[in-house]
């Protein structure tokens, strides 16, 4: 797995991505951006754009991917750390895997609010290229979540196919909840509690259904 420094884009490219995310964080689409506007926001000459990108769609795809490449290893690390924590630590210090992963996802969304607000806007946006880019990266997050659930043996009663379906639902729900988490500080604790219950109920229901189907 590449290090964070290896994932960091060239300075000019990074400035353009960050400028695009700032300009689209309020709900504008990447397609609405002008090259001069983007360059001015980035503090660069407009000609710099084509040294790094072929089109605005190209920039948008890389912006989405750059966030995903930081989010995914962080979530995997949090899941594995939570799964291997001692279970007898005092005062409830040890959070379970679902809660710790939900907290990490929301904290990352808050830290990268411009990128998340842009991705949320593009999820149902006019550009098929960008809709697909957001969906592909969400799928990668959910696939890695399913990998961890299986490798950590968190749900031994469930087959891989079921785990993948549940993880896809969880990631999509957390993604959409991130909008409220970012915009409503007073509700953040409630949203973490809700997300944790959502995860638990999906997996608990799936286990109960598997047991019913197996035994009638």
175-190 pLDDT tens trace: 999 999 999 999 999 9
Structure tokens at 128: 């098929």
Q: Are 101 and 82 in contact (CB under 8 A)?
A: yes
Judged against a pLDDT cut of 50, whether residue 90 lies above it is answered with no
pTM for the whole structure: 0.86
111 secondary structure, DSSP code: H
Judged against a pLDDT cut of 60, whether residue 91 lies above it is answered with no
Domains detected in the chain: 60-215 (1.10.357.10)
Tell me what percent of the residues of the chain surpass a pLDDT of 70. Answer: 91
Identify the CA nearest to 26 among candidates 108, 110, 116, 111: 116
Q: Are 48 and 84 in contact (CB under 8 A)?
A: no
Torsion of CA 86, 92, 94, 99, to 10 degrees: 140
Q: Are 21 and 114 in contact (CB under 8 A)?
A: yes
Residue scoring higher pLDDT (128 or 108): 108
User: Exposed/middle/buried for 72, CB within 10 Å: 0-12, 13-18, 19+?
Assistant: middle
Positive or negative, the Cα torsion across 103, 123, 136, 197? Answer: positive
Q: Using 50, 70 and 90 to split pLDDT, how confident is the model at 27? A: confident
Structure tokens at 206: 């799936």
**pLDDT of 94:** 38
Tell me how long the chain is: 216
Average pLDDT, the chain: 89
- Each as own residue / partner, the long-range contacts of residues 72-79 (CB below 8 Å, 24 or more positions apart, any chain) are 72/140, 72/141, 72/144, 73/1, 74/104, 74/108, 75/101, 75/104, 75/105, 75/108, 75/141, 75/144, 75/145, 76/144, 76/148, 78/104, 79/145, 79/148, 79/152
pLDDT digits (tens, 9 = 90+) for 130-172: 899 999 999 999 999 999 999 999 999 999 999 999 999 999 9
Tell me what percent of the residues of the chain surpass a pLDDT of 90. Answer: 68
- Region 108-122: mean pLDDT is 93
**pLDDT of 7:** 54
**pLDDT of 28:** 84
- Region 45-73: mean pLDDT is 91
- Region 65-80: mean pLDDT is 93
Distance CA 93, CA 81 (A): 13
Judged against a pLDDT cut of 50, whether residue 9 lies above it is answered with yes
Q: Using 50, 70 and 90 to split pLDDT, how confident is the model at 211? A: confident
């Amino acid at each position: 797995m590449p290090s964070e420094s290896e994932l960091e884009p060239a300075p000019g490219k990074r400035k353009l991505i960050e400028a695009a995310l700032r300009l689209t964080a309020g709900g504008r689409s990447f397609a609405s951006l002008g090259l001069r506007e983007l360059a001015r926001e980035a503090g660069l000459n407009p000609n710099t754009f084509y040294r790094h990108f072929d089109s605005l769609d190209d920039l948008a795809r890389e912006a989405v991917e750059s966030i995903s490449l930081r989010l995914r290893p962080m979530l995997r690390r949090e899941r594995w750390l939570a799964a291997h924590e001692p279970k007898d630590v005092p005062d409830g210090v040890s959070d379970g895997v679902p809660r710790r992963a939900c907290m990490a996802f929301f904290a990352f969304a808050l830290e990268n609010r411009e990128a998340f607000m842009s991705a949320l806007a593009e999820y149902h946006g006019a550009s098929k290229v960008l809709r697909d880019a957001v969906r592909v990266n969400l799928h990668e997050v959910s696939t890695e979540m399913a990998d961890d659930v299986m490798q950590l043996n968190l749900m031994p009663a469930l087959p891989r196919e079921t785990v993948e379906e549940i993880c896809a639902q969880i990631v999509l729900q957390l993604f959409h909840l991130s909008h409220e988490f970012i915009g409503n500080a007073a509700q953040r604790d409630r949203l973490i509690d809700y997300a944790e219950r959502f995860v638990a109920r999906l997996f608990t229901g799936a286990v109960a259904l598997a047991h019913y189907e197996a035994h009638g």
